[in-house]
Amino acid sequence: MLEVIKFASLLIGAYLLGSVPAAYLVAKWTRGIDIRKYGSGNVGASNVFAVVSKRWAIPVTIFDVGKGAAMVWAAQLLGLGIAEQVTVGLATIIGHNWPIFLRFNGGRGIFTSLGVITMLSWKLGLIVLVMTYILAPLRKVSLGVSLSLVSLPFFSWFLSQPLDIEERLPITLGLAALSLIALLRRLIVPRTPLSESVHPVELFFNRLLFDRDIRDREAWVKWRPFKQQEKQEKD
């Protein structure tokens, strides 16, 4: 019974820590803006980089990675098994993506996922970094993220020995769930005015591969979703 209570408490703590929106708080504190109404509208380090500053994107990234890693580490310290560690990590990611403090409208959970993955297997974490940023010179980081997320379950299952993964079933299932959560978050956000003329099939693949509604990255990053609404409110 004590083990169940300990595990349940850790799950709740993981969700609440995941719900702490560092990107939102930094944008509010430094520029007095709601980051959900600027740039891509994403509550994450990438949007802080775009609409606040590069300098502030660094601590947001560290915090988002850290909260994922910290909760898995806490599960390890408490002697929980791999399946429980994975579940705690997923709870942290869910908290980041659907935070209670922002009415369940958060970020994509990519950096938090990186923290979780790295604590489960540092080699898998390295694979994510390499696959993500190998396309950075082409400005296709989101595509690299998509490819790494989809491929991780296959790496953990078929390359478990060279990756030093002892319990490949819970790790693989956890990574599959992690990938589905990340991709689902991309797909279910509301449509924006920029995508009104975009065909649903094209919209689906834009979100799935590039994490945006349109192909033009610059137009997407610089867009303010509620610019017209804010202007009307001021008038």
Taking the C-alpha atoms of residue 43 and residue 195, their distance in angstroms, rounded to an integer, is 20
Could you tell me the pTM of the whole model? Answer: 0.86
How many structural domains comprise the chain? 1
Whether residue 5 has pLDDT greater than 80:
yes
Q: What is the pLDDT of residue 212?
A: 78
pLDDT digits (tens, 9 = 90+) for 177-200: 999 998 888 888 777 777 777 888
Give the mean model confidence (pLDDT) for residues 22-33.
93
Distance of CA 70 to the CA centre of its chain: 15
Structural domain span for residue 168: 2-234
Q: Which residues contact 8 (CB under 8 A, 6 or more apart)?
A: none
pLDDT of residue 16: 97
